[in-house]
Amino acid sequence: MKNLMKYFRDYKLESILGPLFKLLEASFELLVPLVMAQIIDVGIKNRDMGYILGRGGILVLLGVVGLACSLTAQYFSAKAAVGIGTRLRNDLFRHINSLSYREIDIVGTSTLVTRMTSDVNQVQAGINLTLRLFLRSPFIVFGAMVMAFTINVKAALIFVAAIPLLSVVVFGVMLISMPLYKKVQRQLDQVLLTTRENLLGARVVRAFNRQEDEAARFGQENDMLVRLQVFVGKISALMNPVTYVIINGAIIVLVWTGAWQVEEGIITQGEVVALVNYMSQILVELVKLANLIINISKALACANRISGIFAQESSIVERGGQARRDGADRREGSGAGDGGNRPESGRDRAEAEYEASGTGKAEAGPGRMGAESDPAVSVPRVEFRDMDFYYAGAKEPSLSKISFAAMRGQTIGIIGGTGSGKSSLVNLIPRFYDAAKGAVLVDGVDVRDYALKELRGKIGVVPQKAVLFKGSLRDNMKWGKKDATDEEIYKAIDTAQAREVVESKEKGLDLMIQQGGRNLSGGQKQRLTIARALVRRPKILILDDSASALDFATDAALRKAIRENTKDMTVFMVSQRATTVKNADQILVLDDGKLVGLGTHRELLESCEVYREICLSQLSKEEVTQ
């Protein structure tokens, strides 16, 4: 909650003026019973119409001024609440985008959506009500009691007895209801999660004819939410009748006492009416205060939940601002002219470590550009050194003791069964997750030493699930490179074998993509997401099973185009198809999170049982030996 108080700094003036004008309105309201008492005791008693009209004018003036103060207070309160809500929502969205995959996996998407929408709206409403009523209601309550003492001390003692009793009821209900509202919000998260799963998996649900089962499951979650809401609603609903009973009881005692005092000439009839009016004001304001406390309780619960998201810090922490110089780029003027006295750079140290370790010398493969023969690129483009990786909460590693090197210009195929860790491995390269042990290096530099923007600027990623955003095809293609020309975009589209997709829609790059790419088939979306990654001309291209929806002919044409058009780009191709990876310069075979095979297709057929079984299960004997 303390983290959210900073948002009031930019709205200090509004946060002061809102309650201030409400207090002015309350002050005018407290004067009304006194004016009414004068009308009764003087105007009506003496049948002085002029006096009655004069005091009536004062009542109208008090009402108009009070209304003006109320509208002004409402304006400032709403301005502060909406402004704080807007900034809070923006900061929360920005913070969520800064979290790594690990934190998002832990918190859950449905929970984050609830925090961004329902919780922020509740906090915004709570701020508005607090600025308007939090000071006004107590001010009226205690102000009415003070005014009662100015009229008659003995009668005012009734106020002294009633107010603490009412406070016990109000704050007792608040203390009971606050934790219950937290349970309601948690159950709301569960309902949203169930809804989200059903909407995203609607086709699967219908394919297995599980609509009734899912409806029953949703009904159970929703019923639980209803039961919690009804239970906490019953407790909250006790507040109004109990407070009315107490106040009306106090009014009965007040009228009884006042009648005897009028009879004895201690107070006047107008003063009794004023005391009853003050008691009625207390009743109204305590009901408002009770409802305010309920809303504040909800807002505080939501604020604490939002603070919990802000407290989640990304496990992906940048060690420094700008990473060390790209170890794989050529240096200008580094020849014999420097007399051998130039200082050792990060790249030099990486080369020395790599050559000393001997990693990858026999594994480099031919490569598309003869990378292994060029001394300027002797440092691996990507290297894994004895790397272990755990998902959050897992007791066993998802990847264990992974070591390999990929040189510039090579194609690296990654194959293995479902759950073997293929996607987990490639997600470590752009540092979507961090290794628990060992290191992942890009251009000889540990990925943890890069600024994230610099590291991910080197990498193009095509995830398993093809995602396109609402907007034109041109806008989608420019995600990788904002200033990309149409020529660059069409070149990437040609490489991705997506030209016919664009031409068939007859609108070119102005084709409007619907949300999630609903107006495209699965294969079309996959080819366009590959094109989007290629537009930026990354040094490392990761294709995470991104051609699974393509037919074998298109898949083969895509692999051929990527090999011919990506020059010195290092390409990682994750697939469960043996045909997709068999021509790669290196093939990594994963099984249960372990690297059980590393080499070319022919080498692995002889040395890796897992790879041989995969190939024989998918290909004919002739295709295997080709």
- Give the best-scoring range by mean pLDDT among 197-201, 318-322, 330-334: 197-201
Q: Over 70: is that where the pLDDT of 504 sits?
A: yes
Q: Over 50: is that where the pLDDT of 345 sits?
A: no
Q: Are 494 and 561 in contact (CB under 8 A)?
A: yes
Q: Can you list the positions of beta strands (E) in 334-378?
A: none
Strand 471-472 vs strand 512-513: parallel, antiparallel, or unpaired? antiparallel
Stretch 573-582: mean pLDDT: 90
Closest by Cα among 470, 413, 404 to 440: 404
Predicted confidence at residue 597, as pLDDT, reads: 94
Tell me the three state secondary structure of residue 104: helix
Rg (CA), the chain: 36
- Could you give the strand order of the β-sheet that contains 594-599, starting from the edge strand earlier in sequence? 445-446, 437-442, 382-389, 399-406, 594-599, 586-591, 411-416, 570-574, 540-544, 459-462
Q: Over 90: is that where the pLDDT of 501 sits?
A: no
Q: Over 50: is that where the pLDDT of 334 sits?
A: no
User: pLDDT band for position 320 (50/70/90)?
Assistant: low
| Number of neighbouring beta carbons within 10 Å of residue 612 | 16
Q: Over 80: is that where the pLDDT of 312 sits?
A: yes
| φ and ψ of 335, to 5 deg | -85, -150
Predicted confidence at residue 19, as pLDDT, reads: 92
- Name 595's Cβ contacts closer than 8 Å, sequence gap at least 6: 401, 402, 403, 404, 588, 589
Q: 120-133 and 49-98 helices cross at what angle (nearest 10)?
A: 150
Closest by Cα among 161, 177, 166 to 138: 166
Q: Over 70: is that where the pLDDT of 36 sits?
A: yes
- Name 118's Cβ contacts closer than 8 Å, sequence gap at least 6: 185, 188, 302
User: pLDDT band for position 508 (50/70/90)?
Assistant: confident
User: pLDDT band for position 6 (50/70/90)?
Assistant: confident
Mean pLDDT of the residues in the chain? 84
User: pLDDT band for position 365 (50/70/90)?
Assistant: very low
**C-alpha distance from residue 351 to each of 333, 347, 378, 568 (Å):** 18, 6, 7, 19
The pair of structure tokens assigned to 408 is 């510039």
The pair of structure tokens assigned to 195 is 């809804």
Strand 411-416 vs strand 570-574: parallel, antiparallel, or unpaired? parallel
Give me the amino acid identity at 321: G
Q: Over 70: is that where the pLDDT of 543 sits?
A: yes
User: pLDDT band for position 473 (50/70/90)?
Assistant: very high
The pair of structure tokens assigned to 154 is 């003995």
Task: For residue range 408-429, list pLDDT tens digits in order.
Answer: 999 999 999 888 999 999 999 9
User: pLDDT band for position 325 (50/70/90)?
Assistant: very low
Number of residues that make up the chain: 626
Q: Over 60: is that where the pLDDT of 503 sits?
A: yes
Stretch 556-567: mean pLDDT: 87
For 543, what's the count of Cα atoms within 13 Å in the CB-facing half-sphere? 31
Q: Are 567 and 409 in contact (CB under 8 A)?
A: yes
Predicted confidence at residue 600, as pLDDT, reads: 93
Task: For residue range 49-107, list pLDDT tens digits in order.
Answer: 988 999 899 999 999 999 999 999 999 999 999 999 999 999 999 999 888 888 888 88
Q: Can you list the positions of beta strands (E) in 452-604?
A: 459-462, 471-472, 512-513, 540-544, 570-574, 586-591, 594-599
Predicted confidence at residue 199, as pLDDT, reads: 85
Q: pTM for the whole thing?
A: 0.70
For 538, what's the count of Cα atoms within 13 Å in the CB-facing half-sphere? 27
User: pLDDT band for position 267 (50/70/90)?
Assistant: confident
| φ and ψ of 332, to 5 deg | -85, 140
Backbone φ/ψ region at 423: left (φ over 0), alpha (ψ -120 to 50), beta: alpha
Q: Over 50: is that where the pLDDT of 133 sits?
A: yes
Q: Over 80: is that where the pLDDT of 249 sits?
A: yes
The pair of structure tokens assigned to 489 is 């975009």
Closest by Cα among 531, 520, 405 to 476: 531
Predicted confidence at residue 68, as pLDDT, reads: 94
Predicted confidence at residue 24, as pLDDT, reads: 92
Q: Over 70: is that where the pLDDT of 222 sits?
A: yes
